[in-house]
Amino acid sequence: MSKSKLEYIWLDGYKPTQNMRSKTKVENDFSGKLEDCPIWSFDGSSTKQASGGASDCLLKPVAIYPDPARENGYLVMTEVLNADGTPHESNGRATIDDDDNDFWFGFEQEYFIMDKETQLPLGFPIGGYPGPQGMYYCSVGGRHTHGRNFVEEHADLCIAAGLNFEGINQEVASGQWEYQLFAQGAKKAGDEIWVSRYLLDRLTEQYGYYIEYHPKPVKGDWNGSGMHANFSNTVLRTCGSQETYEQICEAFRPVVKEHMAVYGEFNDERLTGDHETAHVDDFSYGISDRGASIRIPIITVEKGWKGWLEDRRPASNGDPYKIAGRIVKTVKSANIS
């Protein structure tokens, strides 16, 4: 009889920023298939998802990946359900209207690697600052590059887990990095970002680091951290029309507050109009404009207005399920087919 460790991962009920939680279930002779992952339960009163008098919440498996750090191990992403089987109010995944996977998402996850002892980003001296930003972006060499071994190991773990991991690069500030994931389907894109974050956070336990997802952890003349959302549907991929692209962009203008509500806590500290951002209260779009709310990639234009859009506003700590769900809703509201 063989035994497998299944790590059930879920999002708790903290507001406005949810946290990942996980626990291990040991199964005998497990097939490795999602349909054979049983529904499990947990104490919701310990995660702000239930009261002590009725504390059971359910974990419904929605995606499974091999766990690259465990022999016979699996990572099981789950949705939280109430005891009666209905989606819990904290369950953003269940609200996504993309059951046909028409929407494709590519998320660019930025973050800072923090030293547990100094509580500072890698490369920051105690009581001061490193050299100004400019030399860190895509840098090479020990003077400006901090944390590469950690970042490379995380990339290897994601690839071994079967995530559609597309790239890594050091970002503009010292100790700041980015990775990219792509998925066909809004729910799958959210699954893969959360599992990749799980692997990132778990890896810090071996290094004496922690990950800072706050969108503006270093005040002053330093870039914040975002999670740019590149998205498309069949219309955007095939329409060949500048007018159609502009109609879809305009659908975002009247719902700025609705988007900001799910784009991440403290995002106003990042979206100031400086450091390659649009102001949190404004809305704009433009071709190849990294200071716009939504950037129309130049390659989309060069391909005859067939491609995707990039919403540059989501913060690094945002929930990809809620972000994708809101984008899907707004694009659909344009009523273009």
| pLDDT tens for each residue of 146-193 | 999 999 999 999 999 999 999 999 999 999 999 999 999 999 999 999
Phi, psi of 317 (to 5 degrees): -95, 5
Residue 36's pLDDT is 97
- Residue 52, pLDDT above cutoff 90: no
Is 23 within 8 Å of 54 (Cβ atoms)? no
- pLDDT per position as a tens digit, 270-313: 999 887 899 999 999 999 999 999 999 999 999 999 999 999 99
Per-residue confidence band for 220, with pLDDT thresholds at 50, 70 and 90: confident
**How would you class 320 by CB atoms within 10 Å of its CB: exposed for 0-12, middle for 13-18, buried for 19 or more?**
buried
Residue in this structure with the two tokens 């769900």, named with its chain if needed:
325
Per-residue confidence band for 213, with pLDDT thresholds at 50, 70 and 90: very high
Residues 143 and 312: their CA atoms lie apart, in Å, by: 30
Per-residue confidence band for 129, with pLDDT thresholds at 50, 70 and 90: confident
> DSSP letter at 273?
S
- Residue 85, pLDDT above cutoff 90: yes
Partners of 285 in the beta sheet? 294
Mean pLDDT across the stretch 42-66? 95
Mean residue pLDDT of the chain comes to 96
Mean pLDDT across the stretch 239-256? 98
Residue 184's pLDDT is 98
Is 185 within 8 Å of 100 (Cβ atoms)? no
Residue 35's pLDDT is 98
The torsion angle over the Cα atoms of residues 27, 162, 312 and 149, rounded to 10 degrees, is: 100
Q: Count of alpha carbons within 13 Å of 289, Cβ hemisphere only? A: 16
Mean pLDDT across the stretch 121-126? 94
Q: Rounded to 5 degrees, what angle do the CA atoms 13, 62, 183 make?
A: 100
**How would you class 281 by CB atoms within 10 Å of its CB: exposed for 0-12, middle for 13-18, buried for 19 or more?**
exposed
Residue 202's pLDDT is 98
Mean pLDDT across the stretch 227-256? 98
3-state secondary structure of 14: coil
Residues 334 and 337: their CA atoms lie apart, in Å, by: 9
Strands 3-11 and 20-28: antiparallel
Nearest-Å Rg of the Cα atoms of the chain is: 20
What residue type is assigned to position 278 of the chain? A
- Structure tokens given for 231: 């998205």
| Domains by residue range for the chain, with CATH | 3-92 (3.10.20.70), 104-225 (3.30.590.10), 232-337 (3.30.590.10)
Is 38 within 8 Å of 26 (Cβ atoms)? no
Is 163 within 8 Å of 192 (Cβ atoms)? yes
Per-residue confidence band for 1, with pLDDT thresholds at 50, 70 and 90: confident
